[in-house]
Amino acid sequence: MSWYKAEEHCNALGGHLTSVRNPREYSFLQQITPSGQTIAWLGGFNLQGQWMWIDREGFYYTNWYSPSSSSSYPCTYLRTSNGWGNTQCGSQYRFICSKKPFSC
């Protein structure tokens, strides 16, 4: 799905495209990416020159492999080999949703 459609799908499940807060989380996401897949959407996006996560987590940890222009390629994806990248949001990739286990 496109990044937008993937986020809509995650919303329908009560979650968002996943954010990544540290290297351990990133390693876990790499491991759960289906066999044979090398790319999956993450919930990162660029808005007016600022990178942020769709679930409103702070964008403090980064693991860019080779970032492209954020104005032309505003959506992030996981790479199972190393680091993450960014590309056009209309590209079709698998994706990873996450959901907070508890809400107040």
| Residue from 1, 24, 13 nearest 55 by CA | 13
List of domains in the chain = 3-98 (3.10.100.10)
Q: What is the pTM of this model?
A: 0.91
Q: Provide the pairing of β-strand 75-79 with 84-87.
A: antiparallel
Six-digit token string for 79:
């790479």
* pLDDT tens profile 3-39: 999 999 999 999 999 999 999 999 999 999 877 889 9
Alpha-carbon distance of 28 to 33, in angstroms, equals 9
The more confident residue out of 101 and 20 is: 20
Average pLDDT on 54-63 reads 93
pLDDT mean across residues, the chain: 92
Reported confidence tier of residue 103, pLDDT bands at 50, 70, 90: low
Return the pLDDT at 101: 79
Tokens 């996006």, residue located: 45
33 DSSP 8-state letter: S
* DSSP-based three-state secondary structure for 83: coil
Binned at pLDDT 50, 70 and 90, residue 62 comes out as very high
Token couple for 28: 């876990």
Determine the pLDDT at residue 35. Answer: 79
